[in-house]
Amino acid sequence: MPESCAPPDLVRNSKTMLLLWALPVAMIFLTGYTGSGWVMTIGWTLSLSVMGAACLVNARGCGRIHCYFTGPFFLLMAVVSLLHGLQVLSLGPHGWRFIAAGLALGSFLLYVVPEWLWGRYRRVRTATHGC
C-alpha cells in the first residue's frame, strides 16, 4: 500500500504519541509515587482508559498490529485498577505493585511479540481511502 494512501498511524505522530500515550504513562508514574489509593485509582484508571481507547482507534484506523492487543489490555487494566482502588477486587497490600508489574510486562510483550510475528500493520483494503 503506498504511503500516501495509508491512514495515519497515531503512534508515529509525535503530538498524538505525546498526548495519548506519553502523558498517560507519566501520570501513572506520578500518581504511583503518591502512594495514595484514590489518587492512583483515578490517575491509573483514566490513563489506561485513554491509552486503551487510543489503541483501538489506531487499530481500526491504520491496522497497527500491536494496537489490536494493547487496546483491550489497557482497558482491562483500567478496570482492574478501578476495582482494586474501590476495594471491590482485593489484590492484597501490594496490589498496586502487582498491577504495575502486570502492566509493564504485558505492555512490553503485547507491543513487541505481535509485530515480530505478523509485522507492523495489518493489510487493509484501501478502497475507502480512494487508492
pLDDT tens by residue, 15-55: 999 999 999 999 999 998 887 889 999 999 999 999 999 99
> What pLDDT does 5 receive?
52
37-62 helix and 65-85 helix, angle to the nearest 10 degrees? 160
Query: pTM of the entire structure?
Result: 0.87
pLDDT tens for residues 52-85?
Answer: 999 999 999 999 999 999 999 999 999 999 999 9
For residue 13, what pLDDT is reported? 87
**Cα–Cα distance, 17 to 23 (Å, whole number):** 9
CB-CB contact of 66 with 110 (8 Å): yes
What does the domain layout of the chain look like in residue ranges? 9-129
